[in-house]
Amino acid sequence: MKHDDICEITCVDEEKVKRVKESVSQQNTMAVSQIFKALSDDTRIKIAYALSVEDELCVCDVANIVGSTTATASHHLRLLRKLGLAKYRKEGKLVFYALDDDHVKQLIQIAFEHQKEVASHE
């Protein structure tokens, strides 16, 4: 079987490779991969998307949106918070969550925009 998506000869642009390898080594790729790992869970991406649509939601609202118990929603929200993707505040007996900053919101929105584009090309 012929693979037309693989180079047929070896040809390395050493300057580019060196430049990119140095750049990659200076980045904290493990931390970034943990962000994507957290968002790869269907429930957590639903929660993150919900928080990108609404500035803030209480745990009860999140649980209702994703169709889970409040305990399950809290578990996922704590993980998002631990990874720096979400923040919370307590108001009386209620706990409200929001995305940590605009970068996280943009990341979620761009991912969903990209998916819409991919789906429209199929």
Most confidently modeled range among 6-15, 25-34, 96-105: 96-105
Mean pLDDT, residues 18-25 taken together: 91
> For the chain, what is the mean pLDDT?
94
Within-domain flag for 75: yes
**What is the domain-level CATH number for residue 64?**
1.10.10.10
Within-domain flag for 1: no
Indicate the number of domains in the chain.
1
Q: Give 49-69 pLDDT, tens digit per residue.
A: 999 999 999 999 999 999 999
Q: Which domain range does residue 58 map to?
A: 14-121
Indicate the pTM of the whole model.
Answer: 0.84
Within-domain flag for 67: yes
pLDDT at residue 100 greater than cutoff 90: yes
Within-domain flag for 36: yes
pLDDT at residue 45 greater than cutoff 90: yes
Within-domain flag for 2: no
Q: Is 81 exposed, middle or buried (0-12, 13-18, 19+ CB in 10 A)?
A: middle
Within-domain flag for 7: no
Within-domain flag for 116: yes
Within-domain flag for 6: no
Contact 57, 97 (CB under 8 A): yes
